[in-house]
Structure 1
Amino acid sequence: MAKKMIIGITMGDPASIGPEITVKALSDPAVYDRCSPVVIGDVCVMEAALKVVGREDIKIHPVSSIGECLFTPGTIDVYDMKIVDMEKLETGKVSVMAGEAAFQYVKKVIELAMDGEVDGTVTNALNKEAINLAGHHFSGHTEIYADYTGTKKYTMMLAHENLRVVHVSTHVSLREACDRVKKARVLEVIEIANQACLDLGIEKPKIGVSGLNPHSGENGLFGREELDEIIPAIKAAKAEGINADGPVPPDTIFSKARGGWYDIVVAMYHDQGHIPLKVVGFIYNHEAGKWDAVSGVNITLGLPIVRASVDHGTAFDQAGKGVASELSLVNAIDYAIRLSVSNKN
């Protein structure tokens, strides 16, 4: 029998839905059939989350090393960071304490992965304002991972079912995003996208490259980025043997990808890729007044370690109510397992 991958899962912001959906996800014994999960967080917060979601039958097992983990269904192993003071924690509120805790969970899981103690990492949401208030000036998980692993070439991939999207730029202004559409970076992201598909077991990846401008610029009528930067990058990728197509107009490329034309889409900036992914992955039931599905996955490509994440925020408005969906977290765990297995082969 193949060795189960050890997956380190950060608890996320202690004031968020992260602890609750972590309990929900790890309450399913089937997760333990697929991997050996350990939560990086605070035992006191996880114990409180058991009550919130009505799963007090589950036991929390504190550990101070991976070797102490039980990896047993019905028990959640928690690498206890001992940062949160429950008397000061306000659920659903931004705070320095919660920001510090969320940051330290991420830093620790990166260390565990770099040291080979866990095979892959999964992150719950943190609050960017909170971690910056705590003195950690990063714009998100992706940048933290890049900094602490010494990675220069990386990109974000979003995934939902057969729709996968990578980005030329992410957390910058729209004005700056346009300036970042350069041949070298577009080619770099095409190459990373191709390798990601290979790592996921897609033998001959088909990569759709989006344009930046309406109608992909109409041969320079609506902008020259396609002519001067994107097309040269696609030609260079083809010269490397990569099956890249484009630039495809941004208003049609995602429908084509959903239809099976492409295994992955290279988007030019954050919202160009995020909006279509979340339209198909986030499903709100108006009659019931709740989200039926929040199921996208966020993966950082180009790192020396595996990192997958939920594709939603801290959802402070839902925190403490026990109603948040764990589906995105379960999907992130499954992606982390697949990529960890690939890394070992």
Structure 2
Amino acid sequence: MSSASASTAALSGDTGGISRPVLALTCGEPAGIGPEISIRAAWALRTEVRSILLGDAALLAQTAQVLDAGIRIAAISIQAFRNTGLPAFPVDCLTVIDCPVAEPVIPGQLDARNGKSVLQTLDLAVAGALDGHFAAIVTAPLQKSTINDAGVAFTGHTEYLAERTATPQVVMMLAGGDAPHLRVALATTHLALKDVPAAITFDSLSRTLDIIAGDLRRKFGIAQPRILVTGLNPHAGENGYLGREEIDVIEPALRAAQQRGIDARGPYPADTLFQPKYLQDADCVLAMYHDQGLPVLKFASFGHGINITLGLPLIRTSVDHGTALDLAAQGFGVADHGSMMVAIRAAAQMAVASAAAGAA
């Protein structure tokens, strides 16, 4: 299949004349809640989105039967997908690309020997998206420690996807499902707090603002995005008395961004910025570090929020929670798949918006 025809198929679906974006859904850590929430969300949204599950086919089939005997699953091999692409299946049948685990899965119990099969699902999703088979990628949570224990250095989905797509800089953004106007992006991600000030430079902040503004336009269809930016220090530095990062780095970066046509404002004190009267007209808040912005968003919408990676040459969304091994150990029906449903819907909407922007 050519790249153009594959891209068209990824947006239009291929069964019964029904238009459904085709998404790759990686099922994450097999011993966690990823397989369950992936199946439940994909099945619930099957008439809106064609979610292609990437994971161990036997495990997913067994999980589906326990959840609902009416869920139909059809599996294809990785080689078949690479050779001929996605087959045409009815709407009431979930497609699985089989990425077998190395060892039997016990819910709630990690096994490092299965770490590389989880990475295989990510690699396959990335390749399929870049080739145009998938309009977007949606990722279930994985266990970083298991992959590292398998002998592969792994910091997280965001960093891994950046490396696999040769993207020099990406931006992590979380969006609130219950408060869709609340989007929080991060200037730095998984860094020790002591390392954050040195990581915030004029150049990195400038690139971050360019990425946010560009993706809000292309992937969200927001013509003139407005970005509110926090300070790094308490009270945004208190005019230099509590730190000079605002004066020396953040303010110059904002002025330069404004000269490039980006509506970025600040820096604002983070302890007062997250109020409806400030956020109601904002499209995104840029926080300086992980625990400055994300606690607010997760308090507002945990379980219905999503994680979005900006700056990639593809669309990627994810849930806002982890593998929940404790819930997986309790059995099926305990985990909430609400965040996964929001992530799938958001990815589909972004795919449509991106296609419209590309056609304009």
Normalised TM-score (structure 1): 0.91
Q: Is the 8 A contact 1:100 1:134 kept in 2?
A: yes
Among candidates 64, 75, 94, match of residue 62 of structure 1: 75
Does residue 1:276 correspond to 2:296, yes or no? yes
Of residues 54, 61, 66, the one that matches 1:40 is 54
TM-aligned CA deviation for residue 301 of structure 1: 0.7
Query: Is 1:92 aligned to residue 108 of structure 2?
Result: yes
2:16 corresponds in structure 1 to: none
User: Following superposition of structure 1 onto structure 2, how do residues 115-264 of structure 1 map, counting pairs within 5 Å?
Assistant: 115-160=131-176, 161-199=180-218, 200-256=220-276, 259-264=279-284
Distance 1:109 1:257, change over 3 A: farther
Q: 1:46 to 1:180 in 2, by over 3 A?
A: same
> 2:103·2:114 contact (CA, 8 Å) conserved in 1?
no
Give the drift of 1:104: 1.4
Indicate the structure with greater helix content.
2
**Offset, 1:249:** 0.5
Number of the residue aligned with 1:285: none
CA separation of 1:118 and 1:327: change in aligned 2, threshold 3 A? same
Deviations 1:315-340 (A, max 9, x none): 10111332111111111111211222
SS for the counterpart of 1:49 is helix
> Shift in Å at residue 74 of structure 1?
3.0
Q: Distance in 2 between matches of 1:333 and 1:270?
A: 24
Instruction: Identify the residue that residue 354 of structure 2 maps to in structure 1.
Output: 343
Cα distance, 1:84 vs structure 2: 4.2
Aligned-CA RMSD value: 1.8
Determine the C-alpha separation between the residues in 2 that align with 1:153 and 1:68. Answer: 31
Write the letter of the residue equivalent to 1:342: A
Partner of 2:15: none
Q: Which runs of 5+ in 2 are unaligned?
A: 1-7, 13-19
| Equivalent position amino acid for 1:144 in 2 | Y
Q: Output one character per residue of 1:183-226: Cα deviation in whole Å (capped at 9) or x when no partner.
A: 11112111111122212122221110110110000010100100
Write out aligned runs for 1:246-325 (5 A).
246-256=266-276, 259-282=279-302, 294-319=303-328, 320-325=331-336
Where in structure 1 are there 5+ consecutive unaligned residues? 283-293
Tell which deviates more after alignment, 202-211 or 227-236: 202-211
Between the aligned partners of 1:182 and 1:219, the Cα distance in structure 2 is 19
Choose the corresponding residue for 1:327, options 319, 332, 338.
338
> Aligned to 1:32, what secondary structure does the other structure show?
coil
How far apart, CA to CA, are the structure 1 residues paired with 2:209 and 2:310? 11
Is the CA contact 2:182–2:279 (under 8 Å) kept in the aligned structure 1? no
Task: Give the alignment's TM-score, normalised by structure 2.
Answer: 0.87
Tell me, in whole angstroms, the C-alpha distance in 2 between the residues paired with 1:71 and 1:258: 47
Does the C-alpha gap of structure 1 residues 241 and 101 become closer, same or farther in structure 2, counting only changes over 3 Å? same
Please tell me whether the aligned partners of residues 61 and 77 of structure 1 are also in contact (alpha carbons under 8 angstroms). yes
- Which amino acid counterpart does residue 326 of structure 1 have in structure 2? H
CA distance change for structure 1 residues 67 and 84 in 2, over 3 Å: closer, same or farther?
same
Percent of paired sites with the same residue: 38
